[in-house]
Amino acid sequence: MAVLKKKHFADYPADRSLGMLAAIASATLSGAIGCAVSVEVHVSNGLPGFTIVGLPDAAVREARDRVRAAVLSSGLPWPMSRVTVNLAPSGVRKAGAGLDLPIAVGLLVATGHLPPDCTEGLAFCGELGLNGSLRHVPGMLALADAVSSPGLVVPLVDVHEAALVRGAGVHGVATLSDLVLVLRRQSPWPPAPEVDTDVSAPPGPDLSEIRGQMVGRRALEVAAAGRHHLLLVGPPGSGKTMLAERLPSLLPPLSKEEALTVSRVHSSAGGALPTGGLLDRPPFRAPHHQATIVSLVGGGNLSFRPGEVSLASHGILFLDELGEFSIAALEALRQPLEEGLIRINRAGGSVTFPADFLLVAAMNPCPCGEGVFEGACKCSVVIRARYRRRISAPFLDRFDLVVPICRPSADDLLSEVPGEPSANVAARVAAARQRAAARGNEQPTLTAEANDCLRQKLREGALSARGFSKVKRVAQTVADLEGEDVLTYNHVSEALRLRAGRSAVIA
């Protein structure tokens, strides 16, 4: 790190009788979206002190200590003056440590250690370490999107992420003292680090690795084609998780806009993006059944972080052992399932994250796990009934597909013939989706036979009014997969088979 030559207060002298003011452009995160912020630093004579106003959260309030240590570590003096930092607009909650850098720069300008015009056309985002190093800021993608200045200064580690949305004009610096040298025009901007942008995420597990499981495979295909929420019901060891993990490989790659949304959410969750580019594959998230509600839906006391429902946006949220999730956890999924987003309200304000996912869940039909087969279950009637009450009927209704899964047969397991690879199925899924998109909201036409079949089920009470419309929707997806316009008896009866698992889990 460059050690700066100590200079006196008035390196860049000015009339200080009224105090000195600097305004630095920056941004803060609101959910996964960035908001432009102007950091105003006022230094005046008076009792030495440091105040931050303008709805700072705890991390921003702590900026004073980090900025002070970083300034001193960089060989610059800390002013014995009254320092007021105002974060405008005052109505927006300012979160995280990314405002450290603009506060430090504003302070150095206001105290005359940087030339007053050196920040023109530049915005600054970065957390400061006590030694003056610049650290990674969560959500750089969204922050970089929010600032309007032509230039943006960020920590070296965040350059490639900021550049994804801004292209040129992003400068990465490693330390505050390096930055001071550049802003004093004593050294050029450091060169951008090289990033391999061709690294794409490794492909997920492939369907060809699964032997047999014809019903499960078909369920995945229909779920992917029609975006139907899917519940797999079967005994332990039947391969429910293996099936679910392969669903992302059947989904089309994300569009540019979806990739931006997904990358923004993952970036605001704290981690730097894993590759040199945007996340372009549908995410797969599998929270444990003991996960806290906050980790599921987002929030937290100190900062608003996206939860699993948001990290799964445009991908899969997989709930294994569905029966073990608390009722409160499943209840918390209601808003995302209905609206495709999650609103988090706390004393410090409210934020909205996207939460538009395909829900896939797996469960045992009963505690012994064998209840999906007639006569195989060893559970008592009471235990079975208690287990089934854990999933409420309204929650079960979220699933268009409730599919019984059996253990693969010995023949299937020993078979040398690989299953159909994901790429083939994904091609059918893409074609079916195109067909559905071209059709729009047109009501399906049913053959007389298909109509009779549904009417019969309604009369028997085997189908509720809600179930009726769901079966029609699934039958439509099956027809789309087969490239047919009219819903036939076969389409409808396959749709009925794909919800046959309901009888094994409903009380």
122-124/49-53 β-pairing: unpaired
**Two tokens, residue 68:** 């002070």
Nearest residue (CB) to Zn ion, 181 versus 379 = 379
**Two tokens, residue 305:** 């972080």
Distance of alpha carbon 324 from alpha carbon 387, whole angstroms: 9
Write down the least CB distance from residue 240 to Zn ion, Å: 16
> Can residue 383 be called a binding residue for Zn ion (CB under 5 A)?
no
Quick one: which segment of 4-12, 243-251, 258-266, 379-387 binds Zn ion (CB under 5 A)? 379-387
Write down the least CB distance from residue 377 to Zn ion, Å: 3
Q: Which residue in 260, 268, 256 sits closest to 35, CA to CA?
A: 268
Nearest residue (CB) to Zn ion, 56 versus 371 = 371
> Can residue 379 be called a binding residue for Zn ion (CB under 5 A)?
yes
Quick one: which segment of 261-269, 330-338, 350-358, 370-378 binds Zn ion (CB under 5 A)? 370-378
Q: Which listed residue (34, 277, 299, 371) binds Zn ion by CB under 5 A?
A: 371
Quick one: which segment of 127-135, 376-384, 463-471, 499-507 binds Zn ion (CB under 5 A)? 376-384
Nearest residue (CB) to Zn ion, 366 versus 504 = 366
Give yes or no for a contact between 100 and 127, defined as CB atoms under 8 angstroms apart. yes
Nearest residue (CB) to Zn ion, 236 versus 274 = 236
Distance of alpha carbon 31 from alpha carbon 35, whole angstroms: 10
Write down the least CB distance from residue 373 to Zn ion, Å: 10
**Two tokens, residue 470:** 């769901």
Give yes or no for a contact between 79 and 45, defined as CB atoms under 8 angstroms apart. no
Nearest residue (CB) to Zn ion, 170 versus 377 = 377
Q: Which listed residue (23, 88, 181, 368) binds Zn ion by CB under 5 A?
A: 368
Number of DSSP helices (H) and strands (E) in the chain, helices first = 21, 20
Phi, psi of 167 (to 5 degrees): 65, -120
Q: Which listed residue (366, 402, 446, 474) binds Zn ion by CB under 5 A?
A: 366
Q: Which residue in 284, 229, 195 sits closest to 401, CA to CA?
A: 229
Nearest residue (CB) to Zn ion, 322 versus 496 = 322
Quick one: which segment of 6-14, 43-51, 235-243, 369-377 binds Zn ion (CB under 5 A)? 369-377
Write down the least CB distance from residue 366 to Zn ion, Å: 3
If binding means CB under 5 A, how many residues of this protein chain bind Zn ion? 5
Distance of alpha carbon 497 from alpha carbon 400, whole angstroms: 11
Distance of alpha carbon 405 from alpha carbon 240, whole angstroms: 7
Q: Which residue in 399, 38, 393, 16 sits closest to 232, CA to CA?
A: 399
> Can residue 377 be called a binding residue for Zn ion (CB under 5 A)?
yes
Each residue 407-446 as x (binds Zn ion by CB under 5 A) or -, in order, gives ----------------------------------------
Distance of alpha carbon 324 from alpha carbon 319, whole angstroms: 10
Write down the least CB distance from residue 371 to Zn ion, Å: 4
Sign of CA dihedral 17, 19, 22, 23: negative
Binding site for Zn ion (CB under 5 A): 366, 368, 371, 377, 379
